[in-house]
A and B are shown apart, each in its own frame.
Chain A
Amino acid sequence: MTSAPVAGALPAVVVRDRRRAKRKAAWRRRGLVLLLMSPWLVGFTVFFAYPLVMSAYLSFTHYDLLSAPKWVGTANYRYLFEQDQQVWPAVKNTLWLMVVFVPAQVLCAFGLATMLTRARYGAGVFRTIFYLPALAPTVAATLGFVYLLNPGTGPVNVVLEHLGIPTPLWFDSPQWAKPSLVLLGLWGIGTMMIIFLAALIDVPRHLYESASLDGANAWQRMRWVTLPSISPVILFAVVIGVIDSLQYFTQAYVAAAIASGQAASEGPTSAGYPEDSTLFYPVLLYLQAFSYFNMGYASAMTMLLLVVALTVTVLILRSSRLWVFYAGARR
């Protein structure tokens, strides 16, 4: 950057010194970056890269934590895809979450946020009420719902009975256990709702006004103004929802344990109650790895999870090019 004539006019010694100083500064900057990045470098290596490689290796072994891993080739994968009777129900349950739970979540969050933008009075109070359940610790919320929905004397069924509506067995019925978990999930929708609300408030007013002038009705304004404007947030919500449903564990595990009346740490007997209807993939993974200590087989399961998670995320992001609209002003 310094103009050449000035540098040329300087004696060679000074130029050399300057270069040396520059190089020194560059090294110091590199050292600084290394220093600042060091926590992540160590953490990423020890808690991400190494486990990933190790998981891949363990998936080809038989390993029970007590004796050294024994190489068994692709036996784990063959068992996973061909013989394990529990894998298919677990995969189906997890798919059910992605197909039913995620859209329900996105729709409800969007619906609540839309309702809030229409409130003329008390929007702050309503927002707080909708958000509060999202704060309830997962285990507490799950316990609460198992009690509220308990088939015999739970408040929900008492109320339903008064209204003359048929009372399902909720967490005790294979058909209703997953919908019960959806209810529990929708109760805690607040975080996603706040994100939608922020996006809806950011939609420029003048777009609605010009749409109205052009004669667009409420539905058309929603379809052609609101949805395109907030489509990046919908994408975000879908990605988060899918990732969460691939990891869905606590609610299913605790609800099954409490509803079946078994000890949560006592072992595998209660997981999936009733009749494997709440046996999600991560629950089965947990059982295989930490109840049966089939670490090799469980590693093969994590590899499948890894591939599925990557594929689904990439597919969603790819498809987003077709339906997500980024306004030109976005940085």
Chain B
Amino acid sequence: MTTVEAANAEARTLERRKPPARYRRRQFLIAVADHSLLIAVSLMFLAPFVFIALTSLMTNQQALSPRLWPEPFQWGNYVDVFRTAPLWRYALNTMLYAGLATVGVLVSSIPVAYALSRLRWRGRDTVFVLVLVALILPFQVTVIPVYVLFAKLHLVGSLWPLILPNFLGDAFSIFLLRQFFLTIPEEYADAARVDGCGEIRILCTVFLRLAKPAIAAVALFEFLFCFNDFFGPLLYTSENADNWTLSLGLAQFRTIYQVEWNLTMAATLILMAPVILLFFLAQRAFVEGVTLTGVKG
């Protein structure tokens, strides 16, 4: 009898203990599976970078062979690539385009976003809807008359058709800044008003300081957009190689310059490097900015 009772008691404790153990084992296996999957997918996301980097260090014959590991490592490719095409020239044009466009967007979009979010006036909501419409419609819808306009001004072939429109407001930046301005409590502005601040001074002192993350995000996005832009430079500068940007120049690498794959991959990596560097320097601004676009989307 006692043995049966003891056995029963043992069974009961076993029963009681079993679920946690099984549960723990299951949780552990799930965690292992989750992380294995994450590692596998990460490798897939990293693989293109790795293969591009490896190819950029190969000799040309090797780049055209099925071998994957460079033998020998030809570091000279990164010097040669600057001799095959005027990369510095392209870089300068890109900086000119991206830099001036970013300045333009900030100077023009901040006041507009302020008026659309913090001032009350008739027609404000209609204007905001128009901003959204301009944001949503494909840019191709307006591209032909704009091209004709710049052609008549004899600006096709230069970088100005790419830069100038940015000084007249950019729908995406206006939208993003407005959304952020709306989250700033009115009390800050009121306090400044009580102290005798005019609206413009409120914008310049209070809002510019409080909206720093949003402004940084807008500047980053605009800069990256210009850095990546291919359609704009293709449309306006393709006839004038002196004004090519990095994106446009790189696209012509294989074709006009007949550059080998190893050098092309070196140039590809050179184009990716500044952006990735920028990301690690300003990671917070990036993630905050991206999140900002999604909030209340």
**Which A residues fall within an 8 A CB radius of B?**
29-30, 32-33, 35-37, 39-40, 42-44, 46-48, 50-52, 54-55, 58, 65, 112, 115-116, 118-122, 126, 128-133, 135-141, 143-145, 147-148, 153, 155, 158-159, 161, 187, 191, 194-195, 198-199, 232-233, 235-236, 239-240, 243, 246-247, 249-250, 253-254, 257-258, 261-266, 282, 285-286, 289-290, 295, 298-299, 302, 305-306, 309-310, 313, 330-331
Contact = CB atoms under 8 A, between A and B. Distances in A.
Contacts of B252: 263-265
A261 B254 CA distance: 7
Nearest to B245: A139
A189 B82 CA distance: 31
Contact of A143 (B46, B127, B146, B250): B250
Interface of B: 31, 34-35, 37-38, 41-42, 45-46, 48-49, 51-52, 55, 63-66, 68, 107-109, 111-112, 114-115, 119, 121, 127, 130-131, 134, 136-149, 151, 165, 167-169, 174, 199-200, 224, 227-228, 230-231, 234-235, 238-239, 246-248, 250-256, 261, 264-265, 268-269, 271-272, 275-276, 279, 283, 286-287, 290-291, 293-297
B268 A39 contact: no
A47 B142 contact: yes
Nearest to B279: A135
Given A143-B265, A153-B63, A263-B252, 4 more contacts: A33-B121, A51-B146, A136-B272, A289-B144
Given A43-B165, A138-B230, A264-B251, A147 B290 contact: no
Given A129-B42, A305-B140, A115 B228 contact: no
Given A40-B168, A232-B297, A243-B138, A33 B119 contact: yes
B152 to A, nearest CB: 9
A115 B34 contact: yes
Given A39-B167, A138-B247, A263-B252, A285 B146 contact: no
B265 A119 contact: no
A35 B63 CA distance: 58
Given A187-B45, A302-B141, A302-B144, A47 B168 contact: yes
Contacts of B253: 143
Contacts of A198: 290-291, 294-295
Contacts of A261: 254-255
A263 B112 contact: no
Describe B's contact surface by its main secondary structure: helix
B142 A155 contact: no
Contacts of A194: 287, 290-291, 294
B239 to A, nearest CB: 8
Nearest to B170: A43
Nearest to B276: A135
A65 B111 contact: no
30 contacts: A37-B127, A39-B108, A39-B109, A40-B131, A48-B134, A51-B141, A51-B142, A119-B35, A120-B34, A135-B272, A136-B276, A137-B227, A139-B250, A140-B269, A153-B65, A153-B66, A191-B290, A198-B294, A235-B297, A243-B138, A250-B230, A253-B234, A263-B256, A264-B251, A264-B255, A289-B147, A302-B143, A302-B144, A306-B137, A310-B137
B282 to A, nearest CB: 11
B164 to A, nearest CB: 9
Contacts of A254: 230, 251
B38 A119 contact: yes
A186 B31 CA distance: 25
A27 to B, nearest CB: 12
A122 to B, nearest CB: 8
